[in-house]
Each structure stands twice: as C-alpha cells, then as structure tokens.
C-alpha cells in the first residue's frame, strides 16, 4: 500500500491510497473459506461446496468489503500518523471511478479533505467588554409579588361567572336538528371553560354572568374558537370526527370556580419559598428583589458570553474550506442540504465550526479538562433554566439529581451536557483573560439591548 498527500492549500488537500492485491487478498481468501465452512447449501455438507459456487454467491460483497476496509485503513492511518486536523470527513474524489471490482487487481482511491485552519490565540486585557447590571425598582418587586399571589391563589366555588379568570364547568350534549339530544351523539361532562379563553363575543356573552345550574344551547365550534385539537381533547372525539359534529349543543352549568389571589401572609410566604424561610412582607420583598436581580444577572452573563465569543471569533478571522464543507454536507446529509438551500443552510454550520475552533484554542491555552463533575454541574444548571422563573419552589438539590440521573445515561443528552460544560469552562477562562467593565442600566434599557443583540445575532 502506498499513501500520498497532495496539499492544495492551507485548507484543502487530496489523499491518494494505492491498494495492491496483497493488501486485501489474504483477508478475502480467509473470509471466503470461513463462509464455506458455515454455508448451508442444498446437496453439500458444510465445508464441501465448491469454492467457485461460494464465490459466485458472496465473492463480490466480500471483495467490496475488503477493498473498502483496506482503503479506509490506509486513509485514517495516514491522517492519524501525520496528525492532520480534519473538518468534516474525507469525501471520495470525483476522479475516483471504478466500474467493476475484480480480485487480484490494484486500485487507487483519492479522498478530498478539508483541514482546520492554523491560527494563534489572541486574547488579552486589551479586549474590553461590557457586563450590564440591571437596577431593580420597587414597582417590579410589587408586580412579581402580585404574580405570586395569583400563582399561589386558591380555586373557590362561586355562584355566578363574572371575572375573566372564572372557570365554568359544563355538561355538554350534542343536539339533533329538532333541538333534542342526538341519538348516539356526543356527551361530555364537567368540561372546564376559562372565560378569558373564549374569543367569540356571542359565546362569551352567554357564559358571562351565568349561574350555576343554568342551561342553554351554544354553537360548539365558536365555544372552542374552532380549535379542533382542543375540541377533540375536551369532548373525547377523534380529531378526524370533529367536522362531522352538529354545531348545536345543549349545556348545563355544573360548577363555577374562581382563582382567588392569595393574601400576603405566612401561607403565601411558605408556598413561595418553603415553610419558615420568609416570615414578613419586608423579607419577602428582599428575597423577590434578590431573585429578580439573580435572573437579570444570569441574562447579563449570557449576553456578555455571546458578545465575547462573537467578537473573538470575528477578531481571529477564522477561515474554513467552505466549498469542501458544502460538498461534504450535501454528501453526508442529503436530506437536509441541497443545491437550493445550501448557501443559506451552511451559514449556521460555519458559525458553529468557527466557534468550536476558537473554543478548542482556549481550552488548550487554559489547560481545560472536562470531568464528570463538570458534566453533572452543566446538567443541574440546564435543569434550573428549564424550570425558569425567579423562584423554584420545591426544586431542591435532591430532586434535581433525581431528574438528571436517568438523562445522563442517554448518549444524546450526555453529549449536549458535555458541550454545555465546555462552554461554561471556556467562558470562565475567557473572562479571566479579558477586561470586563460593569454598566448599570434600567430594566427597559437592558431589554432593548438584548432585543437588539438577538436581532443582530439572528440575522448574522
């Protein structure tokens, strides 16, 4: 076997793998004999069938496998031996055209490759970035406490539906054309309808100010805003059967419940932050302000990290073997990339690769290693973000560990958490290398900055 490398430029090259018959024939003969020993062919005992018959049956497939295996081994032995840093995977050169494989012949396979660019890391204290600190005012704290009162309110029975957050429970019966119950028609009991969710003016007017025990008729489609999915779920009817329903239904109001805001007392404190952790309105305000500030701090960190990497990747002017990568993507992921969408679909792939290359340089410079503890910490942080909000009532460390334990055994989830752990440690290392200046802004100013960043990032 002879392997040569034609380096076209700093990012592109072609590796030629010349295979001689001695590279694959010994293995071919051995596998053919092994197959003959096990082959169950009518008229012959195992191991006695003529070799010519065996070759006719499986010779071509074994030959193809052995030649491909030899070519692949030669290719990757060379890549690993020469320590060539690839982007994407080798793609068979279009000049390599073999009409028919025959044993005993020599073959040459040419593989085009794309290589990672060489560049030096250039990050220092002269790289200045802004981290925003958001001021939290009393009005925002009070707004959050009001939301908290709603969230931890209680459903109380009322006699008349009057408020937007009132829930009216209906027994529904499909009617025939003569307004009597349709024989074999749909019946659904105790169907909840939130007044604020009813969009049709006539239907909403009918339910507003209605009393428990009242009966009437209603257009079932306007009641559910023509939402077939919701109707299917509420009425217990297959979605495909919704269109066949008669529009007129009778209903009886069997219950009305109202979400009553919780009072600002110890019950609310305990529901929000656990028993005994908050014991006064002043302490509640302090804790809510702390949580809101923590939320904005996390958002500001996220914005800083995005700005850091975007700026540093642009600063290093990372170049890629774009044409090769486009060809590789079309060859490898034909279901996602085609001639019509290639240029646009390639952009996020290129951005990801550039970020990845800069991250690798930072990891090497900072001697970053990813341990199991880092992966678990990333999973914990991801779980907290998934639940969102300022306060996470009941989400303690033990519960989080129970949630992440089975997920970490799944390859896809674990891979995502490893990538997340890398980002966490890389961002921390970069912050030590650069200069970060803090700037105090209002909530409105900060949200505008975030919106502008997101718009620019989306269009990038």
Whole-angstrom distance, CA of residue 338 vs CA of residue 333: 9
How far apart, in Å, are the Cα atoms of 442 and each of 128, 247, 328, 454? 22, 52, 47, 18
Q: What is the per-residue pLDDT for 101?
A: 83
By three-state DSSP, how is residue 201 classified? helix
Q: What is the per-residue pLDDT for 458?
A: 61
Whether residue 325 lies inside any domain: the answer is yes
How far apart, in Å, are the Cα atoms of 203 and each of 140, 196, 222, 296? 36, 11, 7, 42
User: How many Cβ atoms from other residues are within 10 Å of residue 55's Cβ?
Assistant: 17
How far apart, in Å, are the Cα atoms of 226 and each of 172, 194, 200, 218, 247? 16, 15, 10, 13, 11
Whether residue 123 lies inside any domain: the answer is no
| Secondary structure element (H or E) that encloses residue 38, with its range | helix 21-38
Whole-angstrom distance, CA of residue 108 vs CA of residue 424: 46
Cα 392 → chain centroid: 22
Number of domains in the chain: 3
172 neighbors 214 (Cβ within 8 angstroms): no
Among candidate residues 204, 230, 260, the one where a domain is terminated? 260
Same domain (yes/no): 295, 361 = yes
Whether residue 422 lies inside any domain: the answer is yes
Among candidate residues 260, 295, 327, the one where a domain is terminated? 260
Same domain (yes/no): 322, 422 = yes
Burial 272-299 (b: 16+ CB within 10 A, else e): bbeeeebeeeeebbebbbebbeebbeee
Whether residue 229 lies inside any domain: the answer is yes
Same domain (yes/no): 438, 290 = yes
By three-state DSSP, how is residue 438 classified? strand
Same domain (yes/no): 256, 287 = no
Q: What is the per-residue pLDDT for 390?
A: 45
Tens-level pLDDT at each residue, the chain (460 residues)? 999 999 999 999 999 999 999 999 999 999 999 998 888 888 888 788 888 888 888 999 999 999 999 999 999 999 999 999 999 999 999 888 777 788 889 999 999 999 999 999 999 999 999 999 999 999 999 999 999 998 888 889 999 999 988 999 999 999 999 999 999 999 999 999 999 999 999 999 999 999 999 999 999 999 999 999 999 999 999 888 898 999 999 999 999 999 888 899 999 999 888 899 999 999 999 999 999 999 899 899 999 999 999 999 999 999 999 999 999 999 999 999 999 999 999 999 999 999 999 999 999 999 999 999 999 999 998 887 776 544 444 566 778 888 899 999 999 999 999 999 999 999 999 999 999 999 999 999 999 999 998 887 765 5
- In angstroms and rounded to an integer, the radius of gyration of the C-alpha atoms of the chain is 34
Same domain (yes/no): 316, 443 = yes
Whether residue 265 lies inside any domain: the answer is no
Domain CATH code at residue 192: 3.10.50.40
Same domain (yes/no): 110, 137 = no
Can you give the pTM of this predicted structure?
0.70
Pairing of strands 107-115, 248-260: unpaired
Q: What is the per-residue pLDDT for 95?
A: 82
Q: What is the per-residue pLDDT for 403?
A: 84
Same domain (yes/no): 163, 192 = yes
> Is the four-CA dihedral 366, 368, 374, 379 of positive or negative sign?
positive
Q: How many CA atoms lie within 13 A of 157 on its CB side?
A: 7
Q: Tell which residue, 79, 71, 77, 80, has the closest CA to residue 108.
A: 71
Whole-angstrom distance, CA of residue 18 vs CA of residue 109: 6
Whole-angstrom distance, CA of residue 305 vs CA of residue 427: 6
User: Dihedrals φ, ψ of 365, to 5°?
Assistant: -65, -35
User: Dihedrals φ, ψ of 4, to 5°?
Assistant: -130, 155
Same domain (yes/no): 199, 284 = no
Same domain (yes/no): 255, 298 = no
Same domain (yes/no): 404, 287 = yes
103 neighbors 21 (Cβ within 8 angstroms): yes
Whole-angstrom distance, CA of residue 271 vs CA of residue 152: 7
The partner residues of 188 in beta bridges, in order of sequence, read 172
Q: What is the per-residue pLDDT for 231?
A: 94
Whether residue 122 lies inside any domain: the answer is no
Domain CATH code at residue 94: 3.30.70.1050
Query: Which ranges of 257-371 does DSSP label H, i.e. alpha helix?
Result: 266-273, 281-316, 322-332, 342-365
Whether residue 148 lies inside any domain: the answer is no
Same domain (yes/no): 246, 191 = yes
Whether residue 87 lies inside any domain: the answer is yes
Same domain (yes/no): 337, 438 = yes
Tell me the residue range of the domain where 11 lies: 2-115
How far apart, in Å, are the Cα atoms of 390 and each of 141, 206, 402? 11, 39, 22
């Amino acid at each position: 076997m002879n392997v040569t490398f034609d380096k076209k430029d700093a990012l592109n090259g072609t590796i030629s793998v010349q295979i001689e018959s001695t590279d694959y024939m010994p293995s071919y003969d051995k596998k053919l004999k092994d197959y003959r020993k096990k082959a169950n062919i009518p008229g012959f005992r195992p191991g006695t069938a003529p070799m010519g018959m065996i070759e006719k049956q499986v010779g071509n497939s074994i030959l193809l496998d052995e030649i491909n295996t030899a070519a692949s081994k030669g290719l990757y032995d060379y890549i690993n031996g020469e320590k060539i840093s690839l982007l994407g995977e080798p793609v068979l050169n279009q000049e390599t055209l073999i009409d028919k494989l025959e044993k005993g012949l020599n073959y040459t396979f040419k593989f085009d490759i794309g290589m990672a660019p060489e560049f030096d890391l250039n990050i220092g204290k002269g790289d200045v970035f802004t981290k925003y600190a958001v001021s939290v005012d009393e009005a925002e704290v009070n707004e959050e406490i009001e939301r908290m009162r709603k969230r931890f309110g209680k459903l109380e029975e009322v006699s008349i539906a009057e408020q937007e957050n009132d829930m009216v429970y209906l027994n529904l019966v499909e009617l025939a054309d003569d307004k009597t119950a349709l024989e074999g028609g749909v019946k659904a009991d105790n169907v909840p309808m939130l007044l604020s969710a009813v969009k049709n003016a006539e239907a909403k007017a009918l339910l507003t100010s209605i009393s428990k025990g009242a009966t009437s008729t209603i257009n079932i489609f306007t009641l559910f805003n023509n939402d077939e999915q919701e109707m299917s779920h509420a009425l217990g009817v297959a979605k495909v059967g919704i269109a066949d329903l008669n529009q007129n239904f009778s209903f009886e109001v069997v219950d009305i419940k109202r979400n009553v805001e919780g009072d600002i007392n110890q019950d609310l404190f305990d529901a929000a932050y656990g028993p005994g952790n908050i014991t006064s309105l002043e302490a509640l305000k302090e804790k809510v302000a702390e949580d809101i500030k923590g939320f904005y701090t996390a958002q500001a960190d996220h914005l800083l990290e995005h700005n850091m990497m975007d700026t540093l990747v642009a600063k290093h002017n990372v170049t890629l073997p774009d044409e090769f990568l486009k060809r590789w993507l079309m060859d490898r992921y034909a279901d996602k990339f085609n001639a019509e969408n290639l240029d646009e679909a390639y952009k996020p792939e290129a951005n990801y690769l550039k970020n990845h290359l800069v991250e690798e340089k930072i990891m090497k410079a900072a001697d970053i290693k990813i341990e199991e503890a880092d992966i678990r910490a990333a999973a914990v942080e991801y779980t907290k973000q998934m639940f969102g909000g300022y306060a996470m009532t009941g989400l303690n460390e033990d519960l989080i560990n129970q949630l992440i334990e089975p997920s970490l055994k799944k390859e896809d989830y674990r891979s995502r958490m490893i990538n997340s752990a890398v980002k966490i440690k890389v961002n921390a290392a970069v912050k030590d290398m650069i200069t970060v200046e803090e700037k105090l802004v209002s909530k409105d100013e900060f949200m505008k900055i975030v919106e502008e960043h997101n718009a620019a990032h989306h269009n990038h």
